[in-house]
């Protein structure tokens, strides 16, 4: 297979007289840890590898998205904007990216335009220089506030279109959506993603050229996950057929439910005849730190996935699967994961086969869990499901099954209006409520509430994670512990005792 692709690249070189350069976006600190560690990587764990990633020469780094905001605020008690600020300080020469989920923020509900604009502003102020925006309904209207604000700030922009093999999602639709994003917003690039890793190889051969033709001189980016085992081949086929930029993660924070290993992609792309300006030795050094960190923290390492046909039914993406598994385990029903995954496949089709990208994996899984636990399907309906059916998230490309829609509307909360109400600006009231707060604080209080904001712990270079200095680890851990602590340790004849509260 590689030799056939290599021959195609050679033929392109003979025809054009130049070799194409494939750029790499590092997605280790965003998607890699999201898929393998359920987004539980702390800021101080990222900093030791940040400078190595920059030194490796990647084109840009996907630094943060809303899932990282949620994990930082809800589980790690860390400020996500401080994370972005520290990453920018450690990687001053490399473009940092932030992903924006259209007009959806925490809780997956649409928000007023001024909150989306504030979100973009604060990410830009803290170091993001490119914004990748996506809407899983492919509704470009939902992207307008974020894109327009980013461009006004001088940031670069990309629109991510996510793959869906449902009947309405043809090559022509994707090409048209890509063309609209370029013509309507003037974005710098179009990204194409396959959340569940199910994009057929023969579809890549028609879809990528169609999208590339539609966007003119703009770059076409591609990302996928390796949970079906197809990921590495998808990347190579996409590059051969016109993709300019690919998202990868550093091994061992790659493969399985995560993107492909960057080191392998560099070798394979070079073998095919592409130019790739990345230092593999630097990537391997970063990988060594990540491997030691995973072993020390008891976190999983990425491994190549075996073929699983069930994934082509439920379409459940890598990061979403990691979080679902963790939530079922916390609820004491981890043994019912296979049932839930089967039910996810059924619910997805009944709800119009939405693209399995945030927020829809969580919304569909919520309904699937209710169906499995309660026996009678759709007897209990989460609010998000009813709002989705009623169009709160936007127009649905494929209609919901009428019988299911009746059950959802009838059994869902009667407090939810049948017609989505208009959204009024929120920021003026926030400024009045918190007159002494800066805009970072305003944003986080609005998204997560006062209690979560006031419970944030300190993060800084003084608490960088160490895999080679256990004493540093101990002191760092003590510093993060809010309970009274007492510890003693010895080195030869000397001892140190720590008492604190």
pLDDT at 84: 98
Residue located via tokens 């494939």: 22
Rounded Cα gap, residues 306 and 165, in angstroms: 22
Rounded Cα gap, residues 376 and 370, in angstroms: 9
Q: Which of 223, 209, 115, 219 is nearest to 171 (CA)?
A: 209
Rounded Cα gap, residues 46 and 6, in angstroms: 36
3-class SS string, 2-30: HHHHHHHHHHHHHHHCCCCECEEEECHHH
What are the per-10-residue average pLDDT scores of the chain (501 residues)? Answer: 93 95 98 94 96 97 95 96 98 97 79 96 98 92 95 98 90 97 98 92 98 98 93 97 98 95 98 98 97 94 78 58 77 85 91 85 89 91 94 90 97 94 94 97 96 84 48 47 43 42 45
Which sequence spans correspond to the domains of the chain? 2-297, 311-411, 469-500
For the record, the structure tokens of 494 come out as: 């000397």
Rounded Cα gap, residues 37 and 369, in angstroms: 22
Q: The pTM is what?
A: 0.84
Q: How would you classify the pairing of strands 95-100 and 60-64?
A: parallel
Containing H/E element for 495? strand 494-500
DSSP state of 433: H
pLDDT at 70: 93
Rounded Cα gap, residues 18 and 10, in angstroms: 10
For the record, the structure tokens of 22 come out as: 């494939």
CATH topology of domain 311-411: Cyclin A; domain 1 (1.10.472)
CB 353 within 8 A of CB 345: no
pLDDT at 316: 56
pLDDT at 467: 54
Q: How would you classify the pairing of strands 485-491 and 494-500?
A: antiparallel
pLDDT at 18: 94
pLDDT at 451: 95
Q: Does domain 2-297 have CATH number 3.20.20.70?
A: yes
pLDDT at 444: 97
Rounded Cα gap, residues 278 and 61, in angstroms: 13
For the record, the structure tokens of 434 come out as: 């918190």
- Common-topology check for domains 2-297 and 311-411: no
Q: How would you classify the pairing of strands 95-100 and 130-134?
A: parallel
Q: How many CB atoms lie within 10 A of CB 6?
A: 17
DSSP of 142-177: GGHHHHHHHHHHT-EEEEEEE---STT--HHHHHHH
Task: From residue 38, give the alpha-carbon distance in Å to each of 31, 67, 282, 305, 318.
Answer: 10, 10, 25, 17, 9
Q: How many CB atoms lie within 10 A of CB 425?
A: 12
CA pseudo-torsion sign 139, 356, 362, 326: negative
CB 150 within 8 A of CB 117: no
Rounded Cα gap, residues 252 and 287, in angstroms: 6
Rounded Cα gap, residues 47 and 91, in angstroms: 9
pLDDT at 61: 98
């Amino acid at each position: 297979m590689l030799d056939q692709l290599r021959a195609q690249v050679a033929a392109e070189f003979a025809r054009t007289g130049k070799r194409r350069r494939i750029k790499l976006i590092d997605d280790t600190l965003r998607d890699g840890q999201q898929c393998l560690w359920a987004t539980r990587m702390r800021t101080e764990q990222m900093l030791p590898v940040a400078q190595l990633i920059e030194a490796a020469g990647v084109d840009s780094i996907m630094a943060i998205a809303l899932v990282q905001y949620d994990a930082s605020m809800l589980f790690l008690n860390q400020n996500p904007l401080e994370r972005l600020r520290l990453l920018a300080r450690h990687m001053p020469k490399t473009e940092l990216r932030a992903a924006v989920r259209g007009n959806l923020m925490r809780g997956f509900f649409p928000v007023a335009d001024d909150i989306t604009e504030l979100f973009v502003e604060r990410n830009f102020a803290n170091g993001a220089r490119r914004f990748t925006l996506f809407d899983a309904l492919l509704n470009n209207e939902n992207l307008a506030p974020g894109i327009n604000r980013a461009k006004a700030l001088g940031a670069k922009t990309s629109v991510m279109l996510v793959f869906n093999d449902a009947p309405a999602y043809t090559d022509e639709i994707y090409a048209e959506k890509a063309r609209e994003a370029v013509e309507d917003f003037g974005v710098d690039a179009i990204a194409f993603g396959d959340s569940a890793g199910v994009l057929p190889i023969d579809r890549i051969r028609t879809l990528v050229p169609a999208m590339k033709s539609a966007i003119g001189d703009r770059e076409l980016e591609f990302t996928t996950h390796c949970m079906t085992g197809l990921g590495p081949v998808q990347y190579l086929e996409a590059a051969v057929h016109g993709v300019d930029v690919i998202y990868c993660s550093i091994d061992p924070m790659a493969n399985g439910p995560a993107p492909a290993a960057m080191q392998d992609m560099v070798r394979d792309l070079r073998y095919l005849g592409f130019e790739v300006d990345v230092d593999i030795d630097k990537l391997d050094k970063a990988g060594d730190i990540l491997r030691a960190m995973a072993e020390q923290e008891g976190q999983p390492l990425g491994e190549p996935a075996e073929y699983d046909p069930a994934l082509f039914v439920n379409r459940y993406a890598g990061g979403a699967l990691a979080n679902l598994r963790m939530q079922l385990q916390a609820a004491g029903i981890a043994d019912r994961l296979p049932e839930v995954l089967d039910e996810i496949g059924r619910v997805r089709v009944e709800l119009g086969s939405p693209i399995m990208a945030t927020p829809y994996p969580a919304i569909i899984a919520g309904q699937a869990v209710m169906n499995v636990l309660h026996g009678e399907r759709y007897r209990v309906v989460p609010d998000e499901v009813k709002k989705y059916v009623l169009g709160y998230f936007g127009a649905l490309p494929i209609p919901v099954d009428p019988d299911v829609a009746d059950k959802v509307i009838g059994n869902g909360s009667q407090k939810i209006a049948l017609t989505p109400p208009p959204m009024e600006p929120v920021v003026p009231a926030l400024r009045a409520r918190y007159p002494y707060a800066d805009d970072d604080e305003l944003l986080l209080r609005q998204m997560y509430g006062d209690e979560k904001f006031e419970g944030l712990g300190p993060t800084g270079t003084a608490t960088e994670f160490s895999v080679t200095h256990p004493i540093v680890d101990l002191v760092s851990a003590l510093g993060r512990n809010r309970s009274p602590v007492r510890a003693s340790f010895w080195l030869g004849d000397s001892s140190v005792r720590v008492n604190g509260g």
